[in-house]
Amino acid sequence: MQNSEELKWALLIASLAMLTMAFCMISFVMYYQKRRFEEEKKINDIEKNYNRLLLDTALNSEETERRRIAQDLHDDIGTMLSLTKLSLNQLNKLVSKIGDDKQDLIMKKSQSLVEETILHVRRITRDLVPTTLERFGLMEAIEEFINKLEEDNNLVISFHSNTEEFPRQGQKLELTLYRIMQELVNNAIKHASCSKIDISLEVDDQFIGLRVTDNGVGFDPEKIKENNLAGLGLLGIESRLSIVNGTMQYERPSSGGSSAFAQIPVMPIPENKPEPLHPFRRERVNI
C-alpha cells in the first residue's frame, strides 16, 4: 500500500515536471521567436537607413558635380567666350575699315557663332543647376521649365496648382519634386509621342502631390512593375522618393495617355535655412 502511494507521488511529480517543461518550451519558443523577429526588424531598419544614406549621398554628389560643371562652364568657358566675343568685335572694326565684303561676312558669321555658343553655355548652366528653384521656389521653376520647353518643342504644357502662393519647402524636397517633374515630362516627350502635358501641384498640411498627365500612347503600369521594365529614369524617381518617404503611382486614365502621381509628406523646414545656392559659387551642397 505504501509502495502504491509512493508510486502515485512519483508519477504526479514526474508528470508535473514534464508538463512544466512543456509549458516552458512553448513559452520559450514564443518569446524567442518574437525576440528574433524584433532583432531581424532592427537589422532591416539599419540596412534600410544605410541604403537610404548611401542613396542620399550619391544624389548629393550628383548635385555637387552638376554645380561644379556649371561653375566651370560659366567661369572658364563663359569668360573665354565673352573675351573671344570682345576680340571679335575689335577685329570686326578693323575688317570693316578694309572694306572687304567677303572678310566682313566671315567676321559676322564668327560673331554670330560665338554669341550662339554663349547662349548654349548659359542654357546648359541653367539646366544643370536650377537657380530659379533655389531663389524663387518650385512654382516659378516649373513655369520657367515649361516656358523653355514650349519654345523648343511643338507642345502644349499646362501647369496649375491648388494654391496661389506655394509655400517654400525644404531645399531637398523642392529639388526632389523638381527633378521628378523634369524626368516625368522628359519621359512623356521621349516615349509617349504626346501633344499635351498637364502638370499639377497640390499641397495640404500633410502631403505635396505632383501629377504629370499626358495624352500620348500610354503604358500599362502593372506590366512595368511585373516585368521589371522600369528604366533608369523611373528607377531614379523611385530612389529620390525613397529618400523623402514619398510614393509614386502610375495610372492609365480612361481618356488615354498616362498619368504619374508622386506624393511626398511635408517635412519641417530646418531653422538654419541654407543660403540660396548659386551656380557660380564653389561650395559643397548639403541637401
Partner 1 sequence: MSEIYIAFIVRKPIPSIAVFITLLPLILLVVRKAYLDPSFKLLLFYLFAKLVIDLIMLHSASLHRNNLIFYNLSIPLFYALLSGMFYYKINSQSYKRLLTFTMVGFAAFTIWDIFHSNSELNDMHNHRAVLYSMTVQGVLIIAIILLYFYEIIKSLQIPNLLTFPFFWVCSGLLLYFSSLIFIAPVLHYTATWNNSIDLGIIRTIPFIFEILCAVLFSVGIYYFPLKDYAKQ
**Can you give the binding site for partner 1, defined by CB under 8 A?**
4, 7-8, 11-12, 14-15, 18-19, 21-23, 25-26, 29-30, 32-34, 36-37, 40
CA separation for the pair 11, 240 (Å, rounded): 68
Measured from the CB atom, the residue of 36 and 168 that comes closer to partner 1 is 36
In whole angstroms, what is the distance from residue 63 CA to residue 247 CA? 22
The distance of closest approach from Cβ of residue 34 to partner 1 in the complex, given in angstroms and rounded to an integer, is 8
Nearer to partner 1, 4 or 228 (CB): 4
Contact 146, 159 (CB under 8 A): yes
CB of 226 to partner 1, least distance (A): 21
Q: Name the residue nearer to partner 1 (CB basis): 5 or 165.
A: 5
Nearer to partner 1, 29 or 269 (CB): 29
Separation between Cα atoms, residue 235 and residue 231, nearest integer Å: 6
Nearer CB in complex with partner 1: 36/93: 36
CA distances in angstroms from 29 to 15, 32, 41, 124, listed in the order given: 21, 5, 18, 63
Report the relative pairing of strands 156-161 and 207-214 from DSSP bridges: unpaired
Give the residue with the Cβ less far from partner 1, 32 or 207: 32
Q: How far is residue 233 CA from its own chain's centroid? A: 10
The single-letter code of the amino acid at 62 is: E
What angle separates helix 171-191 from helix 138-152, to the nearest 10 degrees? Answer: 20
142-200-129 Cα angle (round to 5): 20
* Distance, C-alpha 86 to centroid of its chain: 40
Report in angstroms how near the CB of residue 28 gets to partner 1 at its nearest: 9
- For partner 1, the closer of residues 14 and 83 by Cβ is 14
- Specify the amino acid at residue 240: R
Minimum distance of partner 1 from residue 14's CB (angstroms): 4
| CA-wise closest residue to 236 among 248, 226, 221 | 248
User: Residue 29 or residue 119: which is nearer to partner 1 going by CB?
Assistant: 29
Which grid coordinates are listed for 156? 502644349
Shortest Å distance, C-beta 46 to partner 1: 17
Minimum distance of partner 1 from residue 2's CB (angstroms): 12
Three cell numbers written together for 173: 524636397
Min dist CB 61 to partner 1, Å, is 36
**Coil/strand/helix, residue 166:** coil
Task: State the nearest-atom distance from the C-beta of 52 to partner 1, in Å.
Answer: 24
How many other CB atoms sit within 10 Å of the CB of residue 126?
Answer: 17
